[in-house]
Structure 1
Amino acid sequence: MRPPAGRPYGRAIDALDPDLVVIACNTASTLALPALRERYTLPFVGCVPPIKWAAELSRTRTIGLLATRATVRRPYLGDLQRRYAPDCTLLAHGARGLADLAECAFRGHAIATDAIDRELDALFGQPGGAAIDVVGIGCTHYTFLMDRLRAASPPGTIWLDPAEAVARQAATVLGPLGTAVPSRPARAFFTAAPAEPERLAAAMAPLGYGAPVLFENVAQGLCP
């Protein structure tokens, strides 16, 4: 089922006609997935904080989550703990600017060590934080900082990035659909002109993407 024509939330799906949509944001997944699945017949794959995975690996039964403030505030996080880690203490930190730092790192900028240290101090410095032995990331941007986060965290800390699990789930869902592998480069659409487009294009090229494209141009038929 599709929403009425012209609704903003349906424009990208109508214009691009995807076989599957990945909601590559933890906060957006908790907010939008139920409504999207109700309105559309195509499959959606979301991202959620890896609480279940962390609980399976933790020996101390104290697990950490590094995420955005919006994700940490969502009631969905408490629901995940009650369902999948009821015997664990969950210590979460909503980082103020870590997503922006991750985008800078992706574009090839140097990131100051103290900026990483401040966020980790806020996580491990909480009461009981010294017992954290597994930390999950609850923001898809943080993938680009994982090496830095691991290096700056207490020795032996296990870090979990659900990105590969999300990719595997997407591939599993696409398999029965028989979706053909596109011959042209993958395209990245933006709803606004991105900062430092040259740096961004250079960083995206090894991942198989062409230059960023404004979605408005596609929606208006100005771009094939």
Structure 2
Amino acid sequence: MSDASDRPLLFLDSGIGGLGVLREARVLMPGRRFIYVVDDAAFPYGSWDEDKLQDHLVKLFRRLIETYRPAISVIACNTASTIVINELRKAFPGDLFVGTVPAIKPAAERSVSGLISVLATPGTVKRQYTRDLIRDYGARVHVRLVGSQNLAGLAENYMRRGFVDEEAVRAEIMPCFVEHEGRRTDIVVLACTHYPFLANRMRKTAPWPVDWIDPAEAIARRALSLAETLPEPDGSPSAPDLAVFTSGAPDPSQTRLMSGFGLALVGAQR
């Protein structure tokens, strides 16, 4: 690769969640080449010790940067972003990184009832980073933090197999819905990139309508703002968009899913 105009944009998640962000980025940047890294060997990130996950991701990015020389790296995962984004910027000062954080600010600005919920993984819920966002941007509203143990896995299964237990989805989202002094929760922040793939099931099983905030477009637009500082691509990409599985062993349903997103599979990046 000769210069920044030829270098790909790299997206990383522990599973399929970042595909929604990738889809939005492709709409905004059709002339760019993309690499989607599925860190399935480490799925789910929420079960990791924070220090160990940080060390793992810094080491993984060292290999990814050496191999693919991305112009921009997008951490398409709230849990990973809150843990490692600052360390990545320190470790690779010449590289551009985009993180994913819960959309508490726009939710607080948009809420009419003043009751919002943040639906996240347990890891994101317990991060001080999340509580700092609430302190800085959620002072005028009541924010309920809801840590879901199972939604990311349900989304993975749904995207691979096309089926999800709607009662299981209902059980995971019900704590988001609060009634207080005649007011109801009116916004739920989807603070995990896996969750928007279940948005239709969430709407169907919710006890009342709410605004579900999907972070994908905002993340893609942030990547676009950085990409606009780089040289424009010279024509169409000369190589295909890639999917990289850190396990090196995607199952057939994962292979079909990546193919459906127009991604060519390559070997493991451990």
TM-score normalized with structure 2 length: 0.72
Gap change, CA 1:95 and 1:126, over 3 Å in 2:
farther
The root-mean-square deviation of aligned C-alpha atoms, in Å, is 2.2
Gap change, CA 1:211 and 1:7, over 3 Å in 2:
closer
Note the alpha carbon deviations across 1:9-28, whole angstroms, 9 max, x for none.
51111121110000111111
Question: What CA distance in whole angstroms lies between the structure 2 residues aligned with 1:50 and 1:117?
Answer: 22
| Preserved CA contact (<8 Å) 1:187 1:213 | no
Once the two structures are TM-superposed, the CA of residue 204 in structure 1 deviates from its matched residue by 2.0
Which deviates further from its counterpart, 179-188 or 38-47? 179-188
Q: Give the equivalent residue in structure 1 for 2:252.
A: 198
Q: Which structure has more helix as a fraction of its residues?
A: 1
Aligned length: 210
Question: What CA distance in whole angstroms lies between the structure 2 residues aligned with 1:149 and 1:212?
Answer: 34
Q: Give the equivalent residue in structure 1 for 2:138.
A: 85
Match of 2:147 among 94, 98, 114: 94
Match of 1:189 among 244, 252, 266: 244
> Quick check: 1:74 aligned with 2:109?
no
Match of 1:153 among 206, 213, 227: 206
- Identity among equivalent pairs (%): 36
Question: What CA distance in whole angstroms lies between the structure 1 residues aligned with 2:178 and 2:115?
Answer: 13
Q: Give the equivalent residue in structure 1 for 2:104.
A: 51
> Quick check: 1:107 aligned with 2:169?
no
> Quick check: 1:62 aligned with 2:112?
no
Once the two structures are TM-superposed, the CA of residue 127 in structure 1 deviates from its matched residue by 7.6
Q: Give the equivalent residue in structure 1 for 2:80.
A: 28
Q: State the AA in 2 paired with 1:117.
A: R
Secondary structure at the counterpart of residue 211 of structure 1: strand
Note the alpha carbon deviations across 1:38-80, whole angstroms, 9 max, x for none.
2221110000001001111100111111110000011111100
Match of 1:11 among 63, 66, 70: 63
Question: What CA distance in whole angstroms lies between the structure 2 residues aligned with 1:101 and 1:73?
Answer: 21
For structure 1, the 5+ residue unaligned runs are: 1-5, 217-224
Question: What CA distance in whole angstroms lies between the structure 2 residues aligned with 1:190 and 1:206?
Answer: 16
| Preserved CA contact (<8 Å) 1:50 1:160 | yes
Q: Give the equivalent residue in structure 2 for 1:166.
A: 219
Q: State the AA in 1 paired with 2:136.
A: R
> Quick check: 1:209 aligned with 2:263?
yes
Question: What CA distance in whole angstroms lies between the structure 2 residues aligned with 1:170 and 1:206?
Answer: 23
Gap change, CA 1:157 and 1:109, over 3 Å in 2:
same
Q: Give the equivalent residue in structure 2 for 1:221.
A: none
Runs (4+) off by over 3 Å = 6-9, 125-128
| Preserved CA contact (<8 Å) 2:116 2:185 | yes
Question: What CA distance in whole angstroms lies between the structure 1 residues aligned with 2:248 and 2:59?
Answer: 22
Gap change, CA 1:208 and 1:86, over 3 Å in 2:
same
Q: State the AA in 1 paired with 2:237.
A: P
Note the alpha carbon deviations across 1:97-134, whole angstroms, 9 max, x for none.
11011011111331011100111223226988x72100
Note the alpha carbon deviations across 1:117-152, whole angstroms, 9 max, x for none.
111223226988x72100011111112111111222
Question: What CA distance in whole angstroms lies between the structure 2 residues aligned with 1:144 and 1:164?
Answer: 14
Secondary structure at the counterpart of residue 176 of structure 1: coil
Gap change, CA 1:160 and 1:194, over 3 Å in 2:
farther
Once the two structures are TM-superposed, the CA of residue 85 in structure 1 deviates from its matched residue by 1.2
Match of 1:139 among 176, 183, 192: 192
Higher RCO (CA < 8 A, seq sep 6+): 2
